[in-house]
Amino acid sequence: MNSSTPEHHPTRVLVTGGAGFIGANFLQHMVPAYPDVAFVTLDALTYAGHRRNIAPVAEADNFTFVEGDIADAALVGRLFDEHAFTTVVHFAAESHVDRSIQDPLAFVRTNVVGTATLLEAARTAWRDDGDYRFHHISTDEVFGELGAEGTFTEATPYAPRSPYAASKAGSDHLVRAYGHTYGLPFTLSNTSNNYGPYQHPEKLIPLVILRALREQPIPVYGDGQNVRDWLHVQDHALALDCILRHGRTGQTYLVSAEVERTNLHLVETLTDLVDAALDRPAGTARQHITFVTDRPGHDFRYAVDASRVRDELSWRPQYDLPAGLEQTVRWYLDHPDWLEAITDEDYAAYIDAQYGT
Ligand code: NAD
Ligand code: TDX
């Protein structure tokens, strides 16, 4: 293993969680961009993963889909043997904070045990001095919450506050421990809230678009003054492409477009965009905004300082928030079949349990 390689040249890449929101956007960028690189995605197709998210790359010669669990050590070991991966890009996770409050152990199993299983397989397979890299995708939520001022940096101490954030923090610690103890060549990124096409409508932005479209109550937790920092998922995919090839081994990169909004401001913007796109009278969807009981332990504010990824790797976001939100609203309105498929009986049961509507 070489822990000081400055550049990495991926050849055979295992992408975990490729049928989910960010993984699918990443594959839709990478598979056509690098036709000589083989991509294998391993995804358990939980409620959050859908084959139709990877339909645009499914037929490509350099793409293979494997249905399975990252915590299945025998399967993961067999895939390493069969494909001789040079690279792992690890997205697979339980990703929704509200679900982690209902069922924390599912998060520990996938996010902690699943990540450890992948790390063990990589450590076992990568015993020579080859050009290898394990890139771990994580979240800014590992740093806890901010007050009205300040930003997270790569030096911010970990202080996770939800079971989701704690399980992601555990996975980050494991990745760094494998780097330190075994010399496993890794990079790690902590990203702010993503938005864009193919996001499951349990998350705020697609949930609001869907419910504005259907003229259903639009739930805003607490007083709507919590702040999130929003990054378009396609900009995230470009940042990951950059970090994977040019990021320094053992380094962490915080990724964000550094665009903060209160939830209420964002929800009002989205409802207005949906009305405009559907030629409805202004204010139609706003009438459905409903303040509901706050999320337990709700983090007040996230804000990320992304200067390292900008300065070291010259990455810049392409979308500003107004253009990104408009494109996103358009995408959901233009994909009624996708919305129909994803809002199945399980989704209805989840919404009923979560919101009672
Ligand atoms: P997602 O929930 O949309 O997708 C997760 C994918 O992982 C799904 O396809 C699911 O089927 C798969 N999966 C879940 N458990 C699995 C298992 N045990 N084995 C194999 N596959 C499994 O999540 P996302 O929003 O695309 O997030 C991807 C990654 O990015 C996660 O690690 C998440 O923590 C991180 N992240 C997300 C955001 C965000 O705003 N969405 C922000 C920062 C970091
Ligand atoms: O119905 C809602 N009403 C509401 O007010 C929902 C679903 C959310 N919210 C609030 C809670 C948050 O302050 O909106 C904000 C965004 O909520 P989510 O979309 O659930 O995202 P968040 O909890 O911020 O976490 C997201 O960003 C970081 C992803 O789900 C994580 O996977 C990622 O790590």
- Give the separation between CA 332 and CA 327, rounded to whole angstroms: 9
Catalytic residue numbers?
140-141, 164
Determine contact, residues 79/70, Cβ cutoff 8 Å. Answer: no
Position 356 scores a pLDDT of 85
Position 295 scores a pLDDT of 97
- Tracing tokens 């990951």 back to the chain, one arrives at 240
The residue contributing the CA closest to ligand 2 atom 14 is 204
Q: Is 228 in the pocket of ligand 2 (CB under 6 A)?
A: yes
Q: Is 34 in the pocket of ligand 2 (CB under 6 A)?
A: no
Task: Tell me, in angstroms, the distance from the centre of ligand 2 to residue 311's CA.
Answer: 29
Position 339 scores a pLDDT of 96
Q: What is the mean pLDDT of each run of 10 residues along the chain (357 residues)?
A: 66 98 98 98 98 98 98 98 98 98 98 99 97 98 98 98 98 98 98 98 98 98 98 98 98 98 98 98 98 98 98 97 98 97 95 89
- Give the separation between CA 260 and CA 29, rounded to whole angstroms: 26
Report the atom number in ligand 1 closest to the C-alpha of 191.
Answer: 43
Task: Tell me, in angstroms, the distance from the centre of ligand 2 to residue 333's CA.
Answer: 21
From 137, 204, 300, give the residue whose CB has the most ligand 2 atoms within 8 Å, as the site to mutate. 204
Q: Is 43 in the pocket of ligand 2 (CB under 6 A)?
A: no
- Tracing tokens 């233009």 back to the chain, one arrives at 334
**Measured CA distances, 187 to 10, 119, 164, 301 (Å):** 13, 13, 21, 26
Q: Which residues of 329-348 are buried (b: 16+ CB within 10 A; e: fewer)?
A: bebbbeeeebbeebbeeebe
Burial of 6 (0-12, 13-18, 19+ CB in 10 A): exposed
Determine contact, residues 42/66, Cβ cutoff 8 Å. Answer: yes
Cβ < 6 A, ligand 1 pocket? 16-17, 19-23, 42-46, 48-49, 69-71, 91-95, 110, 114, 137, 139, 168, 191, 193-194, 200
Position 254 scores a pLDDT of 98
Task: Tell me, in angstroms, the distance from the centre of ligand 2 to residue 72's CA.
Answer: 29
Which one of the ligands is nearest to 201 CA? 2
- Tracing tokens 């504010």 back to the chain, one arrives at 301
The residue contributing the CA closest to ligand 1 atom 5 is 20
Position 357 scores a pLDDT of 63
Which one of the ligands is nearest to 199 CA? 1
From 97, 158, 168, 304, give the residue whose CB has the most ligand 2 atoms within 8 Å, as the site to mutate. 97
Complete domains list, the chain, with CATH: 12-194+231-257+299-319 (3.40.50.720)
- Give the separation between CA 249 and CA 236, rounded to whole angstroms: 19
